[in-house]
Amino acid sequence: MTPADAPRARRPFVSLRTRVALALVGSALAALIVHAAITRWPLPTLLATIAQTTGWPLHAPAPASVAAFALTVVVVLPLAAALATLLTRPLLRLLRALEGVVLSYRDGDFSLSIASHGRDELGSLVALHNALGAALREQRQHLVERELLLDTLVQNTPVALLLSDSAGRVAYANIAARQLLRDGRSLEGASVAELLAGAPQALRDAFVAGSDSMFAATGDDGDETFHYSRRRFRLQGREHDLHLVRRMTRELSRQEVATWKRVIRVMSHELYNSLAPISSLAHTGAELAKRGEGERLPGVFATIGERARHLHGFLEGYARVAKLPAPRPADVAWQPFLAALATHTRFRVEGGLPPTPGFFDAPQIEQALINLLKNAAESGSAIDDVTLAVEARGDAFAVIVADRGPGMREAVLAQALLPFYSTKREGSGLGLALAREIAEAHGGTIALANRPGGGLCVTMVLPARPAS
């Protein structure tokens, strides 16, 4: 609620400033009246009457004497104190009320308001304060509703969510995390290390590694596949770790079936395109042999051999993806590595090379980069526009392959890294998929993006050697 939305206080009848001014003027007039009563009338007349009656020597003080002023002050001071008390009592009462309400706000209680019927600045202040309290209550209610909705969503998500503090104690856990680690019992305050002591070894290894990873573990329904990820952030000034464990068995099964269907379609198409001509040419060769037209047989056999080689290369590409061995990373100097890569395909090195060597399996990364550079060369880009750059990015290296071809449509970008997806008539859809497989096997990533001004940029990020 903004000040403009707050209810308007009633117009002040007599302002506080006016009342203070009137009180000061009234005090001055009272002092003059008291002084005149002491020095002029009725005190001098009263004293003269008493002196004549009793014979006592009573005299009124002279108007300019110290005694007159002293008597005036003695009489006026109590009157001024009473007037000051009368004026400040509403203000003090309001300040005490405001103090109590502010203390309740500090404790998170916004239900209090202040009752005031004044028609002055204090009444206006109280009205604005009550409007502020109403706005805070409304916002608090919205926050409570949002927190309740968020907690309901988090508690009922199938992803196991565990929040631990810097001491390794569980600060928050949803239902899935409780089911995964303690058969549904509460985890708050427990030690993460103690909870993992009774967990499957694969889950413990994933927590210790702390990086995004997939692992398999035996559950109530048999072997299951999980995905683990961890994110670190500061909460209330302290470091916290958010652990996420997601069951991937059903999703992977669906993707596996879809992938196999795609594989069968692609292989069936390629096998048919190769075996149908081979069968036809074999029949033609047999007919030529029967008729004694042997001079045409070498051409028939050459065509059969060419189709057989194409089919062999196609199947070999699939086998290469299926049989990709685990990488054996080692220190690799960038200059000789790129020099060796240049013997297989043409490209231009852009920018300087990092002095720190990379840490990867050189033959596998070389194969991945050959595929990326081949795609860049086949994009229609000029040879000089096919570039490769290596950048140091914290604890990783980014190898960037770029071209100036037509780029990719957004729909193609979203699927280009999937196996067997290709926009080329003769493509198998394995080049980018193999590059991604190699990058992820090294613990890295690969990403595609269109370049400003045209062209495609493929960024492969590889982790550097871990600190010893």
Per-residue pLDDT of 246-267, as tens digits, reads 887 776 667 666 666 766 666 6
Calculate ∠ Cα 2-4-7, nearest 5°. Answer: 100
Lowest mean pLDDT among 187-191, 216-220, 364-368: 216-220
Segment holding 339, helix H or strand E: helix 334-342
Amino acid in the structure at residue 327? P
Mean pLDDT of 117-128: 75
**Spatial distance between the Cα atoms of 60 and 78, rounded to a whole number of angstroms:** 22
Tokens of 61: 């003080």
Tokens of 453: 């001004």
φ, ψ (nearest 5 deg) of residue 135: -65, -40
> Are residues 168 and 240 in contact, defined by beta-carbon separation less than 8 angstroms?
no
**Spatial distance between the Cα atoms of 141 and 246, rounded to a whole number of angstroms:** 33
With cut-offs at 50, 70 and 90, classify the pLDDT of residue 169.
Answer: very high
Classify strands 160-165 and 170-173 as parallel, antiparallel or unpaired: antiparallel
The per-residue DSSP string of 360-426 comes to E-HHHHHHHHHHHHHHHHTTT--GGG-EEEEEEETTEEEEEEE--S----HHHHHHTTSTT--SSTT
Q: How far is CA 5 from CA 1, 8, 79, 135, 295, in A?
A: 6, 9, 44, 10, 99
Q: Which residue has the tokens 């880009």?
A: 381
Amino acid in the structure at residue 227? H
Lowest mean pLDDT among 1-10, 75-84, 445-454: 1-10
Per-residue pLDDT of 413-438, as tens digits, reads 666 666 555 555 455 556 787 888 88
Mean pLDDT of 165-183: 89
If DSSP codes are grouped into helix, strand and coil, which group holds residue 228? Answer: strand
pLDDT at 130: 85
pLDDT at 391: 93
Residues with Cβ within 8 Å of 155's Cβ and at least 6 positions away in sequence, in order, are: 174, 175
With cut-offs at 50, 70 and 90, classify the pLDDT of residue 399.
Answer: very high
Per-residue pLDDT of 437-462, as tens digits, reads 889 889 898 888 898 888 899 999 99
Length of the chain, in residues: 468
pLDDT at 5 over 50: no
If DSSP codes are grouped into helix, strand and coil, which group holds residue 463? Answer: strand
> Are residues 405 and 460 in contact, defined by beta-carbon separation less than 8 angstroms?
no
Per-residue pLDDT of 379-397, as tens digits, reads 888 888 999 999 998 889 9
| Half-sphere exposure at residue 422, Cβ-oriented, CA atoms within 13 angstroms | 17
DSSP single-letter state for residue 3: G
Neighbours of 345 (CB within 10 A): 17
pLDDT at 334: 95
pLDDT at 401: 93
Per-residue pLDDT of 337-353, as tens digits, reads 999 999 888 899 999 99
Residues with Cβ within 8 Å of 73's Cβ and at least 6 positions away in sequence, in order, are: none
CA-based nearest residue to 200, from 145, 150, 245, 149: 245
Lowest mean pLDDT among 121-130, 178-187, 412-421: 412-421
Side-by-side strand order, sheet with 213-219? 170-173, 160-165, 238-247, 222-235, 213-219
pLDDT at 1 over 50: no
pLDDT at 396: 92
